[in-house]
Chain A
């Protein structure tokens, strides 16, 4: 049941935006009855907004636009979080309009909509990376993420 809960599940935006939200003691998400907490999407940055504390941007993969938020206010704590803050600032610089990005992170909600709280961002230089991501999403959905035929949650 929880086999994909802790991995980054590769999803198309149309799939990610239709996840089921469970508002019990702690917010959780499921896809076809399986709990998931982290996803990976690939798409083009079509808008972004930079504030002091965060960078918010929209990734368009052709099936939907998914909002991503990268927090920049990780305060250095005994040198431990300083590296994370520096990495977040570097990643924020890489996010530009028209760039093809691979975003991985935790699923969260914002104003009633699924968003990704960014763990890491990678700017793809190979335009074929997006095509391969589509094929990965389809293959993994059918052979790994979807419940077996006849399964009743």
Chain B
């Protein structure tokens, strides 16, 4: 079967985005979640944070999304890594996720990854 041209945004927790991480790759498609710390309408740059880890988000391609400091957002896009390991997510999709239970999200994500690995292994055997 062929695959879709648009890659899925792999859900990651911000603290997993370290240079040594498997997710920290130039152009990797990711889905990130965090609370909005800062937003500049002039540059369309936003900063989200989760548990003291922050990430810059380039929101120039997003429309119809209102940014409120302190609200929770989820973005899907591609990671741009600069030479100093400074990363920015170039968002293609974003949404407000106020009310999300981040503890449940993190725990469920671990379960889901385990299930995905089991499924992939069973398909290969």
> Which residue in chain B gives the minimum CB-CB distance to A141?
B115
Q: Contact between A62 and B9 (Cβ–Cβ < 8 Å)?
A: yes
10 closest Cβ contacts across the A-B interface? A127-B97, A127-B100, A98-B95, A65-B4, A62-B11, A98-B93, A138-B115, A131-B108, A60-B8, A134-B112
Q: Which residues of A contact B94 (CB under 8 A)?
A: 98
Which residues from 27 to 67 on chain A have a C-beta closer than 8 Å to any C-beta of chain B?
32, 44-47, 58, 60-67
Q: Contact between A46 and B76 (Cβ–Cβ < 8 Å)?
A: yes
Asked whether A144 is an interface residue with its Cβ less than 8 Å from the other chain, the reply is no
> Which residue in chain A gives the minimum CB-CB distance to B111?
A138
In the complex the two chains form, what is the Cα distance from A134 to B115 in whole Å? Answer: 10
Q: Contact between A18 and B123 (Cβ–Cβ < 8 Å)?
A: yes
> Which residue in chain B gives the minimum CB-CB distance to A58?
B6
Residue from A13, A18, A63, A131 with most neighbouring chain B CB atoms (10 Å): A131
In the complex the two chains form, what is the Cα distance from A27 to B1 in whole Å? Answer: 15
Given A13-B8, A137-B115, 14 extra CB contacts under 8 A: A15-B119, A44-B74, A44-B76, A58-B4, A60-B8, A60-B31, A62-B9, A62-B10, A65-B4, A98-B65, A99-B95, A127-B97, A128-B100, A134-B111
Decide: A47 near B6, CB < 8 A? Known: A114-B1, A128-B100.
yes
Asked whether B125 is an interface residue with its Cβ less than 8 Å from the other chain, the reply is no
Asked whether B116 is an interface residue with its Cβ less than 8 Å from the other chain, the reply is yes
Q: Which residues of B contact A97 (CB under 8 A)?
A: 63, 93
Interface residues on A, range: 35 or more
Residue from A64, A137, A138 with most neighbouring chain B CB atoms (10 Å): A138
Q: Contact between B108 and A135 (Cβ–Cβ < 8 Å)?
A: yes
> Which residue in chain B gives the minimum CB-CB distance to A60?
B8
What are 18 A-to-B residue pairs whose CB atoms are below 8 Å?
A: A12-B115, A13-B8, A14-B116, A14-B120, A44-B9, A44-B76, A60-B9, A62-B11, A63-B8, A64-B8, A65-B7, A67-B4, A96-B64, A98-B93, A113-B4, A127-B74, A127-B97, A138-B115
Distance in angstroms from A67 CB to nearest chain B CB is 7
Which residues from 106 to 153 on chain A have a C-beta closer than 8 Å to any C-beta of chain B?
111-114, 126-128, 131, 134-135, 137-138, 141
Q: Which residues of A contact B98 (CB under 8 A)?
A: 127
Q: Which residues of A contact B9 (CB under 8 A)?
A: 44, 46, 60, 62
Asked whether A100 is an interface residue with its Cβ less than 8 Å from the other chain, the reply is yes
Decide: A62 near B8, CB < 8 A? Known: A46-B92, A134-B108.
yes
Q: Which residues of B contact A47 (CB under 8 A)?
A: 6
Q: Which residues of A contact B1 (CB under 8 A)?
A: 17, 112-114
Q: Which residues of A contact B52 (CB under 8 A)?
A: none
